[in-house]
Amino acid sequence: MSENDFQLDNQNAYDNIPHCLACQSESRHIPAMPPSGSTTPSGGPVLGGAEFVGSYPDPLVTLDPPLPEIALIGRSNVGKSSLLNALVGQPGLARVSGTPGKTTLLNAFRLPHLYLVDLPGYGFAVAGKAARVGYRKLVTGYLRERPTLAGVVWLLDVRRDPSPDDFTIQELLIESGRPVLAVLTKADKLSRTAGMDRAHALARMLGLDESQVQLVSSKTKLGVAELGESILATVGG
Ligand code: GDP
């Protein structure tokens, strides 16, 4: 086994992200996506009319027409497909609880003024080394270099503390300088007070401003309309 193999297998799955770059950057701050500014109660989708465009292995694939993009990223099973479906009000658009096999493809969905780009879920134990390397290339290439990327919606389960993989993604987000909104999924599993306590705690753990952390539930639609508004504000729609 080469030294590289050793490192790959013993650090987390995205360990070629050059942490030194993040360390050298002047600020470890993650910029925010604009808040929704909404005072209306949580409700259904404000985004709609989405259609699946395609699955791509190339992080720099050209989408036609060129439109700003919002990426969704999170660990496998965090509720990303469910949230995407809730956001656009189309229950069958993204597959829920599919086998986490398509680790090296990004899925693009076109809306009237933007693309939603579903990055594959991370952190599943069964993936082999080749899949992990492919994942790493796709996500690092996409977050670092994609010219049309306007913002990143980072999904974390409200009940879980961030995993080592989550912290690796955090480093990559810091390095990329992209505006980020962290959404805490499955908020229906906690009481309102417990959810707010977790939101404060997770914001602290992730070094995010409280306004960058939002509770969501695809089941009750809590926070879904606000997320849609924040996405539209980010792309200027
Ligand atoms: P993905 O792997 O991140 O795309 O996650 P999925 O959307 O497939 O969801 C994983 C599991 O979590 C499924 O069993 C969903 O039904 C469940 N789930 C997703 N969102 C919610 C939510 O807001 N509330 C609850 N209670 N369960 C959810």
Distance (angstroms) between ligand 1 centre and the Cα of 77 equals: 6
The answer to whether residue 53 scores a pLDDT higher than 50 is yes
| Residue 237 pLDDT | 65
Residue from 96, 154, 214 to probe ligand 1 pocket by mutation (most atoms less than 8 Å from CB)? 96
Residue with more model confidence, 219 or 44: 219
pTM (2 decimals)? 0.86
| Residue 17 pLDDT | 38
| Residue 19 pLDDT | 39
In DSSP notation, the chain reads: --HHHHHHHHS-TTTTS-HHHHHHSS--PPPBPPP----SPP-S-S----EEEEEES-TTPPPSS---EEEEEEBTTSSHHHHHHHHHT-TTSSPSS--TT-TT-EEEEE-SS-EEEEPPPB--TT--HHHHHHHHHHHHHHHHH-TTEEEEEEEEETTSPPPHHHHHHHHHHHHHT--EEEEEE-GGGS-HHHHHHHHHHHHHHHT--GGGEEE--TTT-TTHHHHHHHHHHHHT-
Average pLDDT value for residue range 100-120 = 86
Q: Between β-strands 106-110 and 115-118, what pairing exists: parallel, antiparallel or unpaired?
A: antiparallel
What strands, in cross-sheet order, belong to the sheet with 149-157?
Answer: 51-56, 106-110, 115-118, 69-74, 149-157, 180-185, 213-215
Residue with more model confidence, 98 or 10: 98
The answer to whether residue 57 scores a pLDDT higher than 80 is yes
Average pLDDT value for residue range 57-69 = 95
In this prediction, residue 166 has a pLDDT band, given cuts at 50, 70 and 90, of: very high
Q: Which of 79, 76, 142 is nearest to 103 (CA)?
A: 76
Nearest CA to ligand 1 atom 12: 79
Residue with more model confidence, 103 or 52: 52
Nearest CA to ligand 1 atom 17: 79
Residue from 42, 77, 82, 219 to probe ligand 1 pocket by mutation (most atoms less than 8 Å from CB)? 82
Nearest CA to ligand 1 atom 5: 79
Distance (angstroms) between ligand 1 centre and the Cα of 56 equals: 24
CB 155 within 8 A of CB 74: yes
- For residue 137 the two structure tokens come to 């290339």
Report the C-alpha gap between 174 and 211 in whole angstroms: 17
The answer to whether residue 105 scores a pLDDT higher than 60 is yes
Ligand 1 binding pocket (C-beta < 6 A) is: 74, 76-82, 96-97, 121, 185-186, 188-189, 217-219
Who contacts 79 (Cβ-Cβ below 8 Å, separation ≥6)? 155, 157, 185, 186, 218
CB 122 within 8 A of CB 152: no
Residue with more model confidence, 179 or 1: 179
pLDDT tens across 16-38, in order? 434 333 334 446 788 888 876 55
Nearest CA to ligand 1 atom 15: 79
Cis peptide before 41 (omega within 30 of 0): no
